[in-house]
């Protein structure tokens, strides 16, 4: 059987993507709109997608589709229930961002705890030249040593963040949640983590249970000196509630790499914030050169393994 393989959003991955080892035809598109899916996936047996959604309405039109290879760890863009019911295998990428995402999270943490953006703006505005001593203290600077990091999600990324935190001398709390849970992890009640942490970092998947995990009540429980970091999924946080928390001083700051809808072509309340204690990056925490190449290699490994009859990294 000759497989037809289509990569729907090749431009989302800046790495060398080798071709599968089995007999196949290959087609790739820089990006794909949902309206283009039925035509582009006609007669396809293996579809590769990073962020192009594949929902039931589309999948019903693809009787030859056997596998969806997701070029990411998160697979919320896929209708998993439909795939399970109709024998479509879905694979994802594992452990490729174990360094790059925690490092990005800590870049945000350090910048916010030490108020680097605020001080950088002050220097650019001439403030340093106006003072009478060698430095000035317009914004609080807080150490990581001795502070508490609360982590939501104890998978590879959460564990990676914990490892870095301990290197800084931080105390680490993992928030308790419903099963499944990673074995060997000591959990702390979620409300206690919110109240005790100086930094909250989110490393959880987006599911119906975790959507809007952090809202008004949760932000109100956090310390006024605490910061919130989200390098996971935008839907984990109620964005309007976060705007309120930052503008009214419920928390000291936030660093986000994700939004509920990406790209935000129709706008987003977080895009309108012009605060030195809020940092927003464009979903690039995962995108170091090394991590992207690891991802690309594992992506094709997943496709090869499925066709060879010993699938790996399946989520269905």
Query: pLDDT tens, 216-271?
Result: 999 999 999 999 999 999 999 999 999 999 999 999 999 999 999 999 999 999 99
Q: pTM for this structure?
A: 0.90
Residue 133 is predicted with a pLDDT of 96
Query: Of the listed 36, 209, 262, 289, which one is catalytic?
Result: 262
Q: In the 3-class helix/strand/coil scheme, how is the chain assigned residue by residue?
A: CCEEEEECCHHHCCCCCCCCCCCEEEEECCCCCHHHHHHHCCCCCEEEECCCCECHHHHCCCCCCCEEEECCCCCCCECHHHHHHCCCEEECCCCCCCCHHHHHHHHHHHHHHCCHHHHHHHHHCCCHHHCCCCCCCCCCCCCCCCCEEEEECCCHHHHHHHHHHHHCCCEEEEECCCCCCCCCCCEECHHHHHHHCCEEEECCCCCCCCCCCECHHHHHHCCCCCEEEECCCHHHECHHHHHHHHHCCCCCEEEECCCCCCCCCCCCHHHHCCCCCEEECCCCCCCCHHHHHHHHHHHHHHHHHHHHCCCCCECC
Q: Is 283 a catalytic residue?
A: yes
Peptide bond into 180 cis (omega under 30): yes
Between helix 116-124 and helix 100-113 the angle, nearest 10°, is 60
pLDDT at 29 over 90: yes
Mean per-residue pLDDT, 168-186: 96
Q: 265-306, pLDDT tens digit by residue?
A: 999 999 999 999 999 999 999 999 999 999 999 999 999 999
Mean pLDDT of 107-119: 98
How far apart CA 146 and CA 161 sit, in angstroms, is: 16
Residue 1 has pLDDT above 80, yes or no: no
pLDDT attached to residue 281 = 98
* Domains by residue range for the chain, with CATH: 3-96+290-308 (3.40.50.720), 100-280 (3.40.50.720)
Give the number of other CB atoms < 10 A from CB of residue 191: 13
* Tokens read off for 250: 């419920």
The residue behind tokens 């490393």 is 203
Whether the per-residue pLDDT at 207 is higher than 80: the answer is yes
Taking residues 134-149, report their average pLDDT: 98
Once rounded to an integer, what is the mean pLDDT over residues 197-202? 99
Whether 262 is catalytic: yes
pLDDT band at 30 (very low <50, low <70, confident <90, very high): very high
Catalytic residue among 283, 289, 310, 313: 283
Give residue 316's pLDDT.
Answer: 83
pLDDT above 70 as % of the chain? 100
pLDDT confidence of residue 55: 98
State both tokens at 110: 């350090």
Which of 104, 113, 203, 233 is flagged as catalytic? 233
Q: What percent of the chain has pLDDT over 90?
A: 97
192 is catalytic: no
pLDDT of residue 32: 98
- Quick check: 188 and 177 in contact, CB under 8 A? no
pLDDT for the residue 230: 98
């Amino acid at each position: 059987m000759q497989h037809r393989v289509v990569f729907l959003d090749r431009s989302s991955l800046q790495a060398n993507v080798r071709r599968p080892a089995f007999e196949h035809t290959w087609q790739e598109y820089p990006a794909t709109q949902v309206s283009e899916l039925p035509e582009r996936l006609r007669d396809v047996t293996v579809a590769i997608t990073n962020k192009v959604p594949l929902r039931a309405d589309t999948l019903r039109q693809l009787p030859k589709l056997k596998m969806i290879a997701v070029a990411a760890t998160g697979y919320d863009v896929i209708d998993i229930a439909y795939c399970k019911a109709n024998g479509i295998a879905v694979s994802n990428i594992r452990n490729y961002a174990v360094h790059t995402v925690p490092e990005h999270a800590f870049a945000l943490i350090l910048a916010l705890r030490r108020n680097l953006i605020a001080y950088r703006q002050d220097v650019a505005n001439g403030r340093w030249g106006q003072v009478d001593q060698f430095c000035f203290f317009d914004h609080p600077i807080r150490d990581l040593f001795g502070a508490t990091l609360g982590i939501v999600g104890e998978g590879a990324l959460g564990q990676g963040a914990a490892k870095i935190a301990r290197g800084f001398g931080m105390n680490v709390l993992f928030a308790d949640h419903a099963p499944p849970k990673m074995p060997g992890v000591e959990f702390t009640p979620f409300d206690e983590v919110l109240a005790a942490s100086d930094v909250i970092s989110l490393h959880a998947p987006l599911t119906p249970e975790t959507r809007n995990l952090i809202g008004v009540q949760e932000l109100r429980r956090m310390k006024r000196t605490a910061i919130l970091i989200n390098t996971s999924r935008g839907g984990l946080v109620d964005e309007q509630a976060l705007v309120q928390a930052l503008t009214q001083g419920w928390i000291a700051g936030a660093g986000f790499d994700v939004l509920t809808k990406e790209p935000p072509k129709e706008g987003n309340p977080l895009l309108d914030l012009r605060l030195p204690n809020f940092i927003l990056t464009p979903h690039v925490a995962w995108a170091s050169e090394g991590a992207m190449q690891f991802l690309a290699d594992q992506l094709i490994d997943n496709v090869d393994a499925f066709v060879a009859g010993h699938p790996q990294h399946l989520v269905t």
